[in-house]
Structure formats: C-alpha cells, structure tokens
Structure 1
Amino acid sequence: MTELVVVSAGLGVPSSTRLLADRLTEAVRAELPGTSVRFVELRELAGAIANHLVTGFPNPALREAIDAMARADGLIAVTPVFSASYSGLFKSFFDLIDPDALTGTPVLIAATGGTPRHSLALEHAVRPLFSYFRALVVPTAVFAASEDWGSEGDAYTGDLPRRIGRAGTELAGLVRDRAARGQGDGDEVVPFARQPADLGLD
C-alpha cells in the first residue's frame, strides 16, 4: 500500500495550513486510490521538538512521526509563512531529520500566508530546504493567501483549486514512478531533464 505522510505546521485551530494540507491530500488520493495517509501536526509536537533540540532525545510520538516520514512513499509539507520564510516550528522539525532520510522521496511543498506577496517563500526558502535533503520536489508549489478561502473554508477564488489539482497529479506521478522503479532504488535522484517526462508533462 502507498504511504503518504502529510506534515502541517499550522498553529491555530482551525488552521488554514491544515485546510490546505487536507485539500492537497484529497487531490493526491484521487490519483492514488487506497493510499494510506499519516498526518503529522507539528503544533501537537512543539514541546517534544524543542526538548529534542536541547537533549537529543525524541519522545515516542515524535520518534514515530520522524520514522513514518522516513519510510513514506510521498510527502506533503505545508507551512505558514512568517517574515517571508517558513515558520520556526516547521524548520525546527526538519532540523531533526537525518540528511539522508528523504533522499529520492517525492515531496509536494505548500504554504499559507496573509498576502500573495509571501508566495515567493516557497521558492527561496522551502524548495531549497528539500533540495538539501535530495528529495524530489514537484514542479508546482502551492501557496494560498487569506483571500483564496471562502467563509466556509472552501477554496473559491482564483486558480487555487486548479493548482491544488495539478500539484496532486504531479506528486502522484512521481510516487508511481518511484514504485515502478522499486523501493530499493529509492536513493536514485531523477535528473531534472527526466522529471517532465515522468510527470507526463513532456
């Protein structure tokens, strides 16, 4: 069974970050029926993350979340944007991840913010973070500003639903390609020139 891990760094309840994570998950599952999903709410692990940073020891819940991400077939990572970058909680969590744990893992990156001006944080901060991990980041990064959400929590303006669908299709394509190559080849990083063909974009 395909395993998808969804990391959400939203701080509030309800959270637009979690809402975007849910919409992206639905888009991927529409392409990959039967996919098992594990949500990692970093807000619930904030104390454990801080403790791990100073002691070097994770509690069981944090250890389980880290292990689940390392064995996932695909990853969705969503952060709110503060001061034109990812949140401190989001970065602190990924500071705990082994540099080799996500090598070759397909990743869909997304973010939320109050204004579209923050959307570039995905390209100058979040994408380079996952490049450091040698993950396979899908071409379409999804940013949702406050104006993209309706009063009932639905994506209703602009092209946000289209971008969500496209990003979900891209992640599903990379997950299928990785499965076809076999998990034993998971350390192989697909050259950039091959990625459009793998995603059906050529």
Structure 2
Amino acid sequence: MKQRTLVVISAGLSQPSSTRLLADQLSAAAGAAAARLGVTLDVQVVELRDLAHEITDHMLTGFAPASLKQAQDAVAAADGLITVTPVFTAGYSGLYKSFFDVLDKDTLADKPVLLAATAGTARHSLVLEHALRPLFAYLRAAVVPTAVFAASDDWGADSVEGPLRGRIDRAAAELAREIERREPVTVADPFALTAGFEDLMKNL
C-alpha cells in the first residue's frame, strides 16, 4: 500500500458543528476511496477555531506561533487537502480566509484540494463556485471537479443515502485519484546546504 497524507481544514466556530461533521464524513470517504486504489491515508484535522488567536497574531506581527506553524507545516507537507467552511453573509468565513492568507504563496501549488461548505439554507450553495473556487484557483491548487455543500436540511434521516451522500462519495473518489497518481510531497529544508563545504570554500 502507498502511504499518503491528507490534511482536513475545518473552519467551524461551534462545538460540535455541522462544518466538522461534513469534514469528518469527507475524510472518511476519501480514506475509503484511497484504500480501493491501494493508498493508505494518514489523516490530520486542523480546527481553525483553536488557532483563531494565533492567526490574528501572525497577521499583526508576521510571525507564526508554534501551534499555527505546525498547522502550516502540515498543509505544506500534505499530499491532499479537504477544506470546509461555514458560510456567513454569502461568503466564506473570515477565519477561513485568514488562515489561507498566512500560508506561503506557493504552499498549495498543484496540491489536490476538495472544497466544501455548510450553511443554514441551500441559497448559499453558489459560494462554492463564486468564492471558494476562484480563491483556490488564485492559489494554484488542483481543485477536484466536485465541491460539496451541505445545508441544514441535508442532515435529515435520509441524508446517509441521499444526494449529500452521493456528492461526498463522488468528491472523495476524485480527491483519492488525484492523490494516488501523484508522487508524495517533499518539502525542502530552507536551511539545508545546497552545496558541499569544499564548494562553499572555493567561493570565498
């Protein structure tokens, strides 16, 4: 089995939240889809609610506290990403956007990403195409075709086998295929020497 890493970004503000519930269902479906392709996913969940103060501090000072730095490093090293945001005033949450604002500009380049959102009403479903997809296109992520939106009505008794379940499974399968066909992500050490000691001495 191939080993790959999946990071799940959940921007829900309450505990528990429908945002985290959708994130968990997507990650479970992605794990199952990847297993069918011979890939084992190591899943790490990042709750932005727990990092809210650190994100603000980073935006004000330019330095990431340790817990935020760990989350940033996890995203950079991930072979795939699932992001889920609640919808406020017809857009993604400010906390969600702020987290991606403090990532390095090249972090998501060609990284497979599954987009998802939650809201109280289906009227907000277009936020996926009008707000999230353009954001991740700007970040040069490899966004999978199917995005997943869940309104309050989607969490009824029939949702397990209903339209939401179908969207979750389809999006998860697309993400798993993108992860499987790529080589594992390698993150360069910014402090690593690119030349031997003798070569460095020659330039003195």
TM-score normalized by structure 1?
Answer: 0.85
Residue of 166, 169, 172 corresponding to 1:168: 172
Q: How far is the alpha carbon of 1:42 from its aligned partner?
A: 0.1
Say which one has the larger Rg. 2
The aligned residue for residue 87 of structure 2 is: 81
Residue of 37, 45, 48 corresponding to 2:43: 37
What are the superposed Cα offsets for residues 92-134 of structure 1, whole Å, 9 maximum, x if unpaired? 1110011111101000000000111100001011111111111
Q: Structure 1, unaligned stretches of length 5 or more?
A: 185-202
The aligned residue for residue 105 of structure 1 is: 111
Q: How far is the alpha carbon of 1:183 from its aligned partner?
A: 4.5
Q: How far is the alpha carbon of 1:158 from its aligned partner?
A: 4.1
**Residues 85 and 116 of structure 2 are in contact (CA less than 8 Å); yes or no, is this contact kept in structure 1?**
yes
SS in 2 for 1:109: strand
RMSD of aligned residue pairs (Cα, Å)? 1.5
The aligned residue for residue 18 of structure 2 is: 16
TM-score normalized by structure 2?
Answer: 0.85
Aligned residues: 180
Q: Give the Cα separation in 2 of the matches to 1:183 and 1:5.
A: 13
The aligned residue for residue 200 of structure 1 is: none
Q: Give the Cα separation in 2 of the matches to 1:134 and 1:88.
A: 20
Q: Give the Cα separation in 2 of the matches to 1:52 and 1:120.
A: 31
**Residues 10 and 16 of structure 1 are in contact (CA less than 8 Å); yes or no, is this contact kept in structure 2?**
yes
Q: Match for 1:167: what amino acid? A: A
Q: Structure 2, unaligned stretches of length 5 or more?
A: 187-204
Q: How far is the alpha carbon of 1:32 from its aligned partner?
A: 1.8
**Residues 6 and 21 of structure 1 are in contact (CA less than 8 Å); yes or no, is this contact kept in structure 2?**
yes
Q: How far is the alpha carbon of 1:157 from its aligned partner?
A: 7.1
**Residues 115 and 128 of structure 2 are in contact (CA less than 8 Å); yes or no, is this contact kept in structure 1?**
yes
Q: Does 1:177 align with 2:181?
A: yes
The aligned residue for residue 129 of structure 1 is: 135
What are the superposed Cα offsets for residues 35-92 of structure 1, whole Å, 9 maximum, x if unpaired? 1011000000001011111011111110000011011000000000001110000001
